[in-house]
Copies of this chain bind each other. A is one copy, B any other.
Amino acid sequence: MATIYDVATLAGVSPATVSRVFNGRAVSEDRAQRVRDAAEALSFVPNRTARTLRRQSSEVIALIIPDIENPFFTALARAVEDRAQAAGYSVVLCNTDDDPVKEATYLQIAISENMAGVILVPASDESDLSTIIASGRPVVTVDRTTAFDVDHVMIENEPAGASVTAALFDAGYQRIACIAGPETVVTAIDRARGWRSVVERRGNYNPDLFVRSANHRLDGGRAAMAELLASPERPDAVVATNNLMGVGALQVLNEYGLTPPAFGVGVIGDLPFTTLSPGLVTLVHLPTRDLGTTAVGMLVSRISGHREPARTVLLPGELAAAASVRS
């Protein structure tokens, strides 16, 4: 692999001049051309490792997510990547599996690799950001928060939970249960709170009997749905606080012969790769792309030296498909 010294020798200039050409600094046109020609001839590619060591910062952003197999997060990753690319950054994707230890490891790596910044979906509200904050690397959290005072961009979760629940009541369902995510995730808590507020107002039952906490994956939704169907006070509808739990619930309902609209289903998030007819399930569409692009914007502004206090951005979900009236 050729270095700037090789290029410099061939072009008859100093290494510094080569560096300047590749960093867009002022160099006389004829010399610049000689450098470009020499670089071309040697198929020179700047060594990013050396540049990073010298500059103490790379052009790489870490995107740390809890579950790479959840389409919500891959869509987020797409958005982040597109926007980051446009701003001149590469994105490395790190999967924590909701494991705070893995998360801590990746944060450590981000520091140790001198990455430009981190976009993080925290594994839980207990996630420890003290080390990365102390390192001075910018951090933005997305979709979830922690106790730490950093930029974050969130969904309006409580209204999302409320609107999907209200839509199910409007459609004629009476006993609407809730499959909520883990109690350590702010997003799940807020969405469940939205469900509860509507139930307390319009429902004729005790919400506590109709809520189940589950992991955010398919099997979590399945287990919770099965439990709800087995309970003495059987609900006639359910709200799942994320996409995969919604799919799990639908799978179990299908196995019981209870497909919508015979049993009402509301989901906060979009059903990935669904083969269901539209309108059967009440959905709150989430602005995944905006979530990602906003986060990149905030992060890049921090990387460029922005020093204001931590900012919060709230993005609304959108009730996408009204449930059919109950058959």
Interface residues of A (CB under 8 A from B): 1, 43, 45-50, 52-53, 58, 68-69, 71, 74-75, 77-78, 81, 90, 92-95, 108-109, 111-114, 131, 135, 218, 244, 247, 250-251, 254-255, 271-277
CA distance in complex: A260, B225 (Å)? 26
* Cβ-neighbour of A275 out of B75, B108, B109, B251 (below 8 A): B251
Q: Are B93 and A93 in contact (CB under 8 A)?
A: yes
Q: Are B274 and A275 in contact (CB under 8 A)?
A: yes
Q: What residue in chain B is nearest A51 (Cβ atoms)?
A: B112
Q: Are B58 and A69 in contact (CB under 8 A)?
A: no
Q: Are A273 and B244 in contact (CB under 8 A)?
A: yes
CA distance in complex: A272, B272 (Å)? 8
Assembly of this chain: how many copies?
2
Chain B hits for A93, CB < 8 A: 68, 92-93
Interface centre among A50, A255, A271 (most CB of B within 10 A): A50
Q: Are A49 and B52 in contact (CB under 8 A)?
A: yes
CA distance in complex: A276, B125 (Å)? 35
Which 9 A-B pairs have CB atoms at the shortest separation, nearest pair first? A92-B92, A93-B93, A48-B112, A250-B275, A49-B53, A247-B273, A49-B52, A48-B113, A49-B114
* Cβ-neighbour of A74 out of B68, B92, B250, B275 (below 8 A): B68
Nearest chain B CB to A69 CB, angstrom units: 5
CA distance in complex: A69, B273 (Å)? 11
Nearest chain B CB to A17 CB, angstrom units: 20
Contacts A69-B75, A251-B275 aside, 7 further interface pairs with beta carbons under 8 A come to A49-B53, A49-B58, A68-B77, A69-B78, A74-B74, A90-B94, A271-B273
Chain B hits for A95, CB < 8 A: 77-78, 81
Nearest chain B CB to A118 CB, angstrom units: 14
* Cβ-neighbour of A247 out of B69, B77, B244, B275 (below 8 A): B275
Interface centre among A46, A58, A95 (most CB of B within 10 A): A95
CA distance in complex: A170, B257 (Å)? 28
Given A45-B112, A48-B112, A112-B46: A273 touches B272 (CB 8 Å cut-off): yes
CA distance in complex: A324, B251 (Å)? 20
Q: Are B69 and A90 in contact (CB under 8 A)?
A: no
Q: What residue in chain B is nearest A68 (Cβ atoms)?
A: B74
Chain B hits for A74, CB < 8 A: 68-69, 74
CA distance in complex: A298, B112 (Å)? 27
Q: What residue in chain B is nearest A274 (Cβ atoms)?
A: B275
